[in-house]
A and B are shown apart, each in its own frame.
Chain A
Amino acid sequence: MSQQVDKTKTEKTGAIAVQVDDLTVAYNYKPVLWDIDLEIPEGVLMAIVGPNGAGKSTLIKSILGILKPIAGSVNIYGKSYKKQRHLVAYVPQKGSVDWDFPTTALDVVTMGTYGSLGWIKRPGQKEKKEALEALEKVGMLPFKNRQISQLSGGQQQRIFLARALVQNASIYFMDEPFQGVDATTEIAIINILKELRKAGKTVIVVHHDLQTVPEYFDWVTFLNVKKIATGPVKDIFNDDNLTKTYGINYKVSIQE
């Protein structure tokens, strides 16, 4: 198993982590995403920005096969997503689940190991250890036995992050991880994301706060049903692209 991981690691230097071709998605008749082509290089920390209803979450969900696109293909390191699923981890929006579900923080994080376990096999000592390590990383170890409804919004977000960390993936997709969290949690999360990037992982984040884009991310994609622009933050995060994406004269003072 570890040999396999090493092999993929050497293969993907300077590689394209995620390649999306001609992706088109529609709910009923109205297209939500139109003809998206996207190449995400390995090792970037990328923000997906765009107005409400621009299809940011839809893009992530279609890449991950949660939604079925009308057309298009997704490749992860040159092979179809279905074959490379084990390289990808997902952090859904916090509001997408019922937090009154009868389970504990540790239990939710352990769910991150279910994919590698496969059908029927139960998590054992090894999986528990991995889950505890992930809890430690996000600073939630003291809360491991807490019923999840008794956690604050920021703590719930950290639990979701820990669940994805357990998967030990190469590519992380996160849907608004900073939504409704306090400043402390935001800093804790961004530090973890930067650590992931340092370890050579690729992190793709649906992001709302334009002010923090230059500070947090090195890569950005502007999206509004169509792809407006994608590239390094320092090259393309400018008023021109913001105006094109948000449709109004948008001015963001970029700190140099």
Chain B
Amino acid sequence: MNIKEYIELLFTDYTLRTITLGTAILGAVTGMLGSFAVLRKQSLLGDAISHAALPGIAIAFLLTGTKDSNVLLIGALVSGLVGTFWIRGIIKKTHLKSDTALGLILSLFFGFGMLLLTFIQKQPNANQAGLDKYLFGQAATLLERDVWLMTIVSGACLVVLLLFWKEFKILLFDSDYTKTLGFNTKIIDILITSFIVLAIVLGLQTVGVVLMSAMLLAPAAAARQWTNKLGVMVFLAALFGAFSGVFGTAISATQNNLSTGPVIVIIAGVFVLFSFVFSPNRGLLFKQIRFIKNRRDLQLHKTLTFMYHIADTHDNVSHPHTVKILNNFQGYTKGTLQKLVKRNLVELDGNMWSLTEEGYKTASNLYNQQNKTDE
């Protein structure tokens, strides 16, 4: 299938449209909430929550015997929340650091979940097949009502976000100070965490337990590179997340048999990689370019200041001197001299150089500036 066929199909094929819409909404809501997780330095929390949800899915199936996604997701939600509060409890009550607590709960819950899954598979019940789709996700199983559920949760999340924007922002930045202003930080905290858990649980069917945390972190990490405003960051993260969903679905639909969840995650990863390298302020590329340019400018300025000192010993500042005396100066190369000549700061006549009027002025300004910053 090529792109043109895909776009045609997008408008005619009901299933593809549902899946595309579902992954887009999922990407948007996880990207949005992921910004908060990243800024709170709780990046790993998402990973722990998604893994902690697995036993809930298995237990919900064992209890009810249905594979109805809503029932299973309620199980996931419960065990995800239990995992989250256990993590908090461990951090609070013991001396363990948060990464230890996260790792512990993550592996314990996931191990228990896997145990239950193998137990279910051994049962003489034909109904059990397909539970393992929650491990890596299977977007193809998304139904219209799943997408509706995602839309409702995303809508609720957006409303809460807009209402409590100011409270979220100040809690993220300085929670102690927020307390002294009279805000109940626990309520704000529980609100954020609950929505993060909810978003993760909603994504399990599509992306799966193992890769879900990437949906939370990747769009947010990419968005942070482009802006210094929280609002813009959250918006961009939602946008990147949604595009990851749409592109991921498109690629997996056009390339036969590519699993949708991993493709979405890889697209999100491409957003991150691109942002890390090419974003104008924080990106590696422009940072390196600025660094090199700055270094060269400094070298040039240093050489000019050195010449200024020599020229300053004469009454006539444009008195020619031999190039030889520059050789003792570190940072001087023929290249820097050529550059100074090009900028009209220095004149070169055979083996003799002299400062131009402009060169002398620039150098004395630089010299004074240097002295000022030294103080």
Contacts and interface: CB of A to CB of B under 8 A. Distances in A.
B173 A120 contact: no
Contact of B170 (A64, A90, A114, A147): A114
Interface stretch (A31-39, A103-111, A131-139, A186-194): A103-111
Contacts of A104: 228-229
B166 interface: yes
Contacts, number: 76
B172 A101 contact: yes
A97 interface: yes
A88 B181 CA distance: 9
Given A66-B179, A147-B228, A92 B174 contact: yes
Nearest to A108: B173
Contacts of B172: 101
A250 to B, nearest CB: 32
B227 interface: yes
A66 B174 contact: no
B170 A120 contact: no
A51 interface: no
Which interface residue of B169, B180, B228 has the most chain A CB atoms within 10 A? B180
Category for how many chain A residues contact B:
20 to 34
A103 B233 CA distance: 10
Interface of A: 61, 64-66, 85-86, 88-90, 92, 96-98, 101-104, 108, 111, 114-115, 117, 119-120, 122-123, 147, 149, 163
B39 interface: yes
Contacts of A97: 173-174
Interface of B: 39, 41, 163-167, 169-170, 172-174, 176-183, 224, 227-230, 232-233
Contact of A115 (B164, B165, B181, B228): B181
Contact of A122 (B166, B176, B224): B166
15 contacts: A65-B180, A66-B179, A85-B182, A92-B177, A97-B173, A98-B173, A102-B39, A102-B232, A103-B173, A103-B229, A114-B181, A117-B166, A119-B164, A123-B166, A163-B177
Contacts of B178: 114
A163 B181 CA distance: 12
